[in-house]
Amino acid sequence: MLTTFSVSSGYSGASGEYNAGAAARIGALNTGTSGSAYFQFTLTPASGYTFTLTSISFGARSTGTGPQAYSFRTSLDTYGSDYATGSILNNSVWSLYTNSGLTITSGIGTAVTFRIYGYDGTGAPAINVANWRIDDLSLTVSTTLPILLNSFKAKWESDVINLDWTTATERSNAFFSIERSPDSYRFPEIGQVQGAGDSNTPQDYSFTDTRPHSGKNYYRLKQVDFDGKYTYSKVVSVNFGKTGGLLLSPMPTSNELNVTLDKPIVEDGQWQVLDISGRVLRTGMFPAETTDYQLNAADLPVGSFVFRLVAGQEVLVKKFWKG
C-alpha cells in the first residue's frame, strides 16, 4: 500500500499502517474510461496451471463525499458483470467487507485482472485528496495443474510406432489430440484419444501410428479441456526404418530402380512404394536369399517417394527421387 494517512482500525486484523487512497467520483457505476474510481490488482498462474479465487475481503473507509457502494469485477468479461457487490459506509470509519462463495477461474497460465469499483459518491472530493481508502486486502486462491503428465514415450515396433503416456491427475480433460511432424515445425493431427474428465488416479493411454514417416518422426500431445482450452506436452521423437543396409540407385531414377541389400533376407519380404504423405502406391514380393532387385519405376510421376521393405521383424526404409 502507498500512504500512512487515516490508518486502518476498528476491525479484527486491521494492520494500522499503509493503505491506498482514491478520489471516487459522483454517480452510478461507470466502467468506461474516466468512469468510476477503482482499485486494481492482477493474478497470474504459473505456466500450465489455473487458479480459482473463492473469496475476497478488504478494509475500506469512505468520507461523506466518498462512494456508498462497491462492485467486484474482472477482465474475464472486460469488467462487464458483478462477481460481488456491497454497500460502503461513508462515515469516515474503517470497516471490513467480506465476500465468499465466489468461483472465479483463470485460463491455463492466463493472467486475470481484478477491480474493486467504488460509486454512488455524494460530492466531489477536495483537489488531490482521497475520499476512499482500502487496506488489508485478503484473497482465498487455489491453483490446479489441469493435467499432470507422468510420462510420454514413442517406440518403433515392427512397421508401426506405438505411443504410450500416463497422467497422474486430470481436470476437465475432454481428449488428447495426437500430433506428428516430420520436421518438428508442422504438427498436423493424426488421431484423438478420449480423456478421463476428472481423475485423481493414474490413467494409462496409448495410440498406434500405423503410417509413420520414414526417418525421424516427432510427436506431441495436445490436451483439450471441455471448454476448448488446451496445453501441449513435450515433444518426443523416434527413428522409423533402418536405412544402413539398403541402397537405391540410380538417384534420381528414371525407368528402373535398383534395390541392393548388404545381406540377403532370410524369408520372403514385401516391398512398398509410398508417396511422401505415406500413401501406398505400389507393392510386391521381395524374394528370400536375394540381395538385388529391380523395380520398374517408369509409371511413377516425377517427385519424391519412399521405398519400404518389410521382412519378418526387420523394416528397411529409404527415400528416392524420380527425375
- Give dist(CA 13, CA 1) in Å, integer: 16
Going from the N-terminus, what domains does the chain have, and what CATH number goes with each?
A: 20-144 (2.60.120), 147-240 (2.60.40.10), 246-322 (2.60.40.3080)
- Give dist(CA 137, CA 38) in Å, integer: 14
Residue 254: per-residue pLDDT? 84
Residue 216: per-residue pLDDT? 77
Residue 256: per-residue pLDDT? 87
User: pLDDT tens digits, the chain, 323 residues: what are they?
Assistant: 678 889 999 999 999 989 999 988 889 999 998 899 999 999 999 876 788 999 999 999 999 999 999 999 999 999 999 999 999 999 999 999 999 999 998 887 889 999 999 999 887 776 678 999 999 999 999 887 667 788 999 988 767 889 999 998 888 889 999 999 887 778 999 999 999 988 878 899 999 998 887 677 899 999 998 888 888 888 998 877 544 477 888 888 888 888 887 777 777 888 999 988 888 998 998 888 777 888 888 888 998 899 988 877 678 888 888 87
In this structure, what are the phi and psi dihedrals at residue 186, rounded to the nearest 5 degrees? -95, 130
Say if CB 222 and CB 238 are below 8 A apart.
no
Show Cβ contacts of residue 201 under 8 Å, excluding neighbours closer than 6 positions: none
Say if CB 85 and CB 73 are below 8 A apart.
no
| Beta-carbon count within 10 A of 275 CB | 14
Q: Coil, strand, or helix at residue 76?
A: helix
Q: Coil, strand, or helix at residue 304?
A: strand
Cis peptide before 146 (omega within 30 of 0): no
Residue 266: per-residue pLDDT? 72
Q: Give this prediction's pTM.
A: 0.52
- Give dist(CA 251, CA 247) in Å, integer: 10
